[in-house]
Structure formats: C-alpha cells, structure tokens
Amino acid sequence: MIPFDPLFRNPHIQTIAAHFWPRDGAERRFPVSARLYRTEPDVQVLVHSQWPRAPAGGIVIVHGLEGSGEAGYVRGLCAAVLRAGFGAHRFHMRTCGGTEHLCPTLYHAGLTGDLASVVRQLCLEGSAPLYLVGFSLGGNVVLKLAGELESEARDLICAVCAVSPPLDLAACVRRMGERENRIYERRFARNMRKRLAATRRYNRAELAALRSVFEIDDRITAPAFGFGNAETYYRTQSAAGYLNRIRVPTLIVHAKDDPLVPLESCQSALACGNPCINSWVTAHGGHLGFLGRKPHRFWLEEAILEWVVCQNANQRAPRIVKQ
C-alpha cells in the first residue's frame, strides 16, 4: 500500500477540505453516457458511464448520504479509474442526482436492490469484470449487497471496496448528533429535507419540524420501508450484520480519527474474522478525507486503484495494513 502522509492531522479539516478540494477534471475528457436503468416496474435509477479504449473492466462507484455522481470524491475516483484503463459507472441511488420524479419511494442506507439490478444488467451487457466501490453510506450498501449475495456474488463482481462505511448505523447517527459534529448533521438534515420536499409527497411544514437525521429516519425513512422506527431500521440495515457472509475480496478503508464513524464500531464489525475482508486503517484521514502530501495528494484514489489492479491481476492484497 502507498504510505499515507496526511496533509492535515485535524480530522475535521481533512473531511471538509477533501469535500471542496478542486480536482483536475480529467474525467471530462471521456464522453459520458447518462442512462436510466429500470430496477423495479416503477423505479428507474441514473447511471453515468464512461469508458476508455479497451477497458480492463468496469468499476461501479456508489456515493454517500445525500450525494450524487457529481460529488468531488466520486469524480476524483472516476478520473483515476479512467486513467488506469477501467470503465467508470457512477451509480445514483433512487431520488438522488435530480431523479426524484423517477420512483415513488426514497432510498435508504440498506437498499441494495437497485444496485444489484444495475450490476446484473451491466454483466449481461458485457461490462465484466466488475468492481464495486462505495463511499460512506454507499460503502454500507456495497458491503451489505456482497453479504446478501454470498457465493452468488462471485458470478457478478470481482471485488468490493468501502471507504469510511457506517457499519453500525445507530452508532454513527449517535456520533453525528454530538456537539462537535452538528455542522455535518445540520447539512445532512437540510439536504434530506430538500430532497424529500422535491418528491412532492411530503408536507413542507412537517419536514421543517425534523431537525436531525434520526428524526427524519424515525418519522420518514423507517415507516416508508416498513421498518417501523429508526432503531429497527438501523439494526436490520447495518452492513455489520452481513460481513461474515461476504465471499468476494473486500477492502475497507477507515481512518481512526473519522469524526462520523466511531472506530469502536468499525473494529467490532471487523472482528467477524472473515478472511475475504482486508482492512486498511490509517491514523488520520477524517471522513472521506485522506488528503496527502504531494506527490500523493489524493492518496485514497491511488490506494483504491492499487488494490483493484492487484485484484484484477489475481494477486492477493495485504491482509491488514495499519498505521
């Protein structure tokens, strides 16, 4: 693994700076194919695909909470993927990326059916070998899907990578509600209310009263999918309960100082001892941060591609790498 020399040691600076840090826009040199995939009779999701010449395979990139394929971390990895000779598929969860009108329901942290459908359709179209990379909430989705598929996953995907995944959703929501993280929770809750309002299926006055992610999940998300309440939703949809069933090579990248995903919950989930799972744990990096000193400014993108290329060559990545 490329050594990580953090540009910032403050986790909040890492998290915020990485979100706004300008990328070189290299992915824009490749034509974008915007396609709607029908995943259920009344549901369509958006995928932006880009291909280099003679691709070595395809990488499906899944964004985080209230994100889209235009998020900086997604575009950054997309550019790295294309430069490395792989096709890039930027998957949008339902109602994200301006697609609120394309389905009657929302997305949630454990909704894997749409991604599974898109992966199957890509395989039928000859896009294999396929790799999944999920960021934050998207990391929970790709890990849960791999666990649900168990051995069947080997017929669809070669490997899975999750960055800063909230393996224990309840623990992460509690952490988000802490005073030092209010800036993140306010932003997430505001964007969630805005997206819900855009569906035109919820009363604006009712939404305005929901000030936290937990309140939105408890009043809107959980009932919409039959979970009843937020506690049941978090317990049943956390990827931690599916890690022991994963049967494809899997990489989890996590920073010890992640302000949103408690290290304890990550360590507890990884204690399942599944030999298919590799974990790269860095001392610093924040949440989806990992900005490094030059020449490895975007260390995360390089590390993910290094691992994917290693898997693509049927080589074994390191079992555990810690700093």
Enumerate the active-site residues. 136, 258, 287
Handedness of CA 172, 175, 180, 181 (dihedral sign): positive
Q: How many degrees, rounded to 5, is the angle at CA 304 between CA 281 and CA 87?
A: 160
User: Cα separation of 93 and 71, whole Å?
Assistant: 13
**CA distance between the termini of the chain:** 11
User: Cα separation of 203 and 23, whole Å?
Assistant: 38
Yes or no: say if 62 and 94 are a contact pair by the CB < 8 Å rule. no
Identify the three-state secondary structure at position 60.
strand
User: Cα separation of 9 and 110, whole Å?
Assistant: 31
Identify the three-state secondary structure at position 37.
strand
User: Cα separation of 14 and 126, whole Å?
Assistant: 38
User: Cα separation of 25 and 238, whole Å?
Assistant: 34
User: Cα separation of 299 and 303, whole Å?
Assistant: 6
